[in-house]
Structure 1
Amino acid sequence: MDDTKGLAIALEEAKQSYAEGGVPIGAALVAKDGKLLGRGHNMRVQLGSAIHHGETSALYNTGRLPARAYQGATMYTTLSPCDMCTGACLLYGIARVVIGENKNFLGGESYLRQRGVEVVVVDSAECTALMDKFIAEKPELWNEDIGVEERVYSKEGVKAP
């Protein structure tokens, strides 16, 4: 499977999450031989979960596989992976991570590279537009998803809402 097809699957997943009222981040895990192992999207809202991000959902939907199944695999993701998803990719020995966009969030790309993972940033206009739309519509949910507490600024300093 080429990178265009793999990222297209991840984008389908992101759009599905958006349609469900969730955070529009999707992922697809593809074996070295091109076989689709698993796909998923951010399900934090839909499941009330703290850990069902796009990449972790793709891994969950992959099911239980021997460690060798992940050797040489590629994780396609619509957005740069957070620290948790970066760690999951490293834990399973995923060799490549192809990222749709990293303008809205710059995740663990440098750490992946330091650990020998090939990182490709596609800079997809469609992935960026979907995240831009979501962030404009639901900034509080976006801040929650990336672990940022919205702050209110006043003359007295920073105050939590």
Structure 2
Amino acid sequence: MKKNSLATDEQFMREALKEAKIAGKEGNWPMGCVLVIDGQIVGREHNTGYTESIRLAHAELKVLLRAKDELEKHKGKAVLYTTYEPCPMCFGAIVMMKINRVVTGIDLDHSGCLDLQQHLPSFFQQPKFKFEVTRGVLAEECKNVYESSLVGSHHLQKNEH
């Protein structure tokens, strides 16, 4: 795999931000992601939980399911860029799909689960299930997209009380 650089991470996070903006405009949680293998985007998604009326329609889960064939061919080479730290469900999918690295923008309300990696059962402590985590890439931009969306701003106001 190519050496990671901040410029590369920012480039792909900007693509994830485009997806997050689409989600927000559609009335969904403003979260987006892109999946990269060997420096190429092989998938992009955004949350559609509200518009599809299914709570499982998270960006990360959707992109991993759609790219399953590419992931199978290129085991251990995938990097997932996501504007918001993944929830428990998406964390499980990341582990099971053997993603090599996860790059996140923000985790405003500390609902992200990437730290759970060290607390998994022993079977999942094998190297094939481990992944690197890089946090805070374009954090301010990710926060702005989140806060400027109707869903994100409503969530923040509701939780301030």
TM-score (norm 2): 0.77
Task: Write out the 4+ residue segments of structure 1 that deviate beyond 3 Å after TM superposition.
Answer: 63-66, 112-115, 133-137
- Identity among equivalent positions (%) equals 29
Post-superposition Cα deviations, 1:10-44, rounded to whole Å, max 9, x if no partner, equal 1000000111111100011111x112111100010
**Greater helix content:** 2
Q: Label 1:67 to 1:130 Cα distance change in 2 as closer, same or farther (>3 A).
A: same
User: Offset at 1:54?
Assistant: 1.3
Given that 1:113 and 1:119 are in contact with CA atoms closer than 8 Å, whether structure 2 keeps it comes out as no
C-alpha spacing 1:96/1:136, structure 2 compared with 1 (3 Å):
closer
Residue 122 of structure 1 is matched in structure 2 by: 136
CA distance in 2: counterparts of 1:26 and 1:99, whole angstroms: 10
The gaps in structure 1 that reach 5 residues or longer are: 144-149, 154-161
- Residue 93 of structure 1 and its aligned partner are, at CA, apart by 0.2
1:21 aligns with 2:27: yes
| Unaligned residue ranges in structure 2 (runs of 5+) | 3-7, 120-124
Aligned length: 143
Amino acid at match of 1:121: R
CA separation of 1:136 and 1:93: change in aligned 2, threshold 3 A? closer
Q: Which has the higher contact order (CA 8 A, sep 6+)?
A: 2
In the alignment, structure 1 residue 5 sits paired with structure 2 residue 20: no
Q: Choose from 136, 142, 146 the match for 1:131.
A: 146
- SS in structure 1 of the partner of residue 51 of structure 2: helix
Q: What whole-Å deviation, never above 9, does each CA across 1:120-147 have from its counterpart, x for those lacking one? A: 002510101222334563329x98xxxx
Distance 2:78 2:118 in 1: 15
* Aligned residues: CA RMSD: 2.6
1:99-128 deviation line (CA, Å, top 9, x unaligned): 011223341121235653111002510101
Say whether the 8 Å CA contact 2:30–2:152 is kept in structure 1.
no
Question: In structure 1, what is the Cα distance between the partners aligned to 2:71 and 2:10?
Answer: 27
TM-score (norm 1): 0.77
Structure with bigger gyration radius: 1
TM alignment of 1:15-94, pairs within 5 A: 15-31=21-37, 33-62=38-67, 64-65=69-70, 67-94=72-99
Residue in structure 2 matched with residue 157 of structure 1 by the alignment: none
